[in-house]
């Protein structure tokens, strides 16, 4: 299964595409979509939508994993990230890519085995799990790959298998 992990935002949006087969994940492509600083915010959202639409058409994922919004102390930035996340959700929906959402602690648990792992621990485990020689850059791309790994591991859990058998 081709899984696209997306780390939402409006300035830098990380993505990582993996092929998940059984318990093995193979990286296919990763990077970041960026919008120009200082540009009108609505213009940045339009660029984000156009770029995400093109990315989804080009990569053709079978599923997308997007991080749930986490607000820190800067509420203004959080609201802007929420706008960008909404654009990403819309682009996935319009491309008819099944969408799955994960909290930061779920991603940390799935990748590093600990829901409160540090960013560096998650990045290093992402590198190891995918057999990469270096940490994925930018950090947002590593986050996108971690989201894809999280979905790969979540969809193969016993609970997910049971739910698919029972239609739950």
pLDDT at 86: 95
> What beta strand segments (E) does the chain contain?
2-7, 12-21, 24-34, 63-67, 99-102
pLDDT at 167: 56
Domain ranges of the chain: 2-166
C-alpha span between 76 and 61 (Å, rounded): 32
- Per-residue b/e over 20-44, b at no fewer than 16 CB within 10 Å? beeeebebbebbbbbbeeeeeeeeb
Average pLDDT on 23-35 reads: 96
Q: Are 27 and 4 in contact (CB under 8 A)?
A: no
Backbone angles phi, psi at 63, to 5 degrees: -155, 155
Q: Indicate if 40 belongs to the active site.
A: no
Q: Which of 101, 124, 139, 140 is catalytic?
A: 140
Average pLDDT on 35-49 reads: 96
Residue 29 or residue 70, greater confidence: 29
Q: Which of 50, 51, 67, 124 is catalytic?
A: 67
Per-residue pLDDT for 130 more than 70?
yes
| Confidence band of 23 (pLDDT split at 50, 70, 90) | confident
Average pLDDT on 9-22 reads: 94
C-alpha span between 33 and 55 (Å, rounded): 9
Q: Token pair of 82, please?
A: 């929420």
Tell me which DSSP letter residue 31 carries. Answer: E
Q: Indicate if 124 belongs to the active site.
A: no
**Residues sharing a CB contact under 8 Å with residue 128, sequence separation 6 or more, in sequence order:** none
Pairing of strands 12-21, 2-7: antiparallel
Mean pLDDT of the chain: 91
Q: Indicate if 101 belongs to the active site.
A: no
Condensed to tens digits (0 to 9), the pLDDT of residues 135-151 reads 999 999 999 999 999 99
Q: Are 73 and 13 in contact (CB under 8 A)?
A: no
Q: Which CATH architecture fits 2-166?
A: 2-Layer Sandwich (3.30)
- What is the pTM for the complete model shown? 0.90
Which is nearest to 16 in space by CA: 49, 53, 64? Answer: 64
């Amino acid at each position: 299964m081709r899984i696209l992990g997306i780390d939402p935002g409006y300035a830098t949006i990380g993505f990582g595409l993996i092929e998940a087969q059984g318990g093995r994940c193979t990286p296919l492509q990763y990077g970041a979509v960026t919008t120009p600083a200082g540009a009108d915010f609505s213009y940045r959202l339009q660029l984000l939508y156009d770029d995400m639409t093109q990315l989804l058409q080009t990569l053709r994922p079978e599923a997308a994993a997007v991080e749930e919004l986490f607000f820190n102390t800067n509420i203004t930035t959080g609201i802007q990230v929420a706008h960008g996340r909404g654009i990403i959700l819309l682009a996935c929906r319009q491309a008819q890519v099944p969408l799955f959402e994960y909290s930061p602690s779920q991603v940390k648990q799935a990748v590093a085995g600990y829901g409160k792992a540090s960013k560096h621990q998650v990045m290093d485990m992402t590198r190891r799990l995918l057999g990469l020689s270096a940490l994925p850059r930018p950090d947002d791309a590593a986050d996108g790959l971690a989201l894809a790994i999280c979905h790969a591991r979540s969809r193969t859990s016993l609970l997910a298998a049971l739910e698919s058998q029972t239609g739950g």
